Structure 1
Amino acid sequence: MSGGDMVAVESEIATIEEALSTTPAKYWGDADMQSRFLDLLTARETGRPPAPVPAAWKERKRLQALMADENSEYWKGPKAAENQAYYLRLLGASEEPGLVLGLNYTANPDAPPKAVESAAEIMRALSVWDQASLVEAFDFALPEAVQRAAITELAAGPPRVAPVASAADLERFQTDEDNAALARAWGARAAACLGTYRARLRRILGGLSASDRRQAIHWLNSAPPKEYAAIVRQLAGA
Structure 2
Amino acid sequence: MKTALVTGAGRREGIGFETVRQLAQQGMQVFLSARSVEKAQQLAQVLRDEGLNVSALQLDTTDPESVTQAVRRIEEQSGRLDVLINNAAIMAFTPVTDFRTDLDAVRQQFEANLIGTWRLSQECFPLLQASGDGRIVNVSSGAGSFWDPDFGLVNNPGFEMSKFGDVPIGSYALTKLALNGLTIKLAKDFNKAGILVNSVCPGLVATYPNSPGRPVEDGARSVVWAANIPATGPTGLFFRDGKQLPW
TM-score if structure 1 supplies the norm length?
0.26
Higher helix share: 1
TM-score if structure 2 supplies the norm length?
0.25
Q: Which has the larger radius of gyration?
A: 1
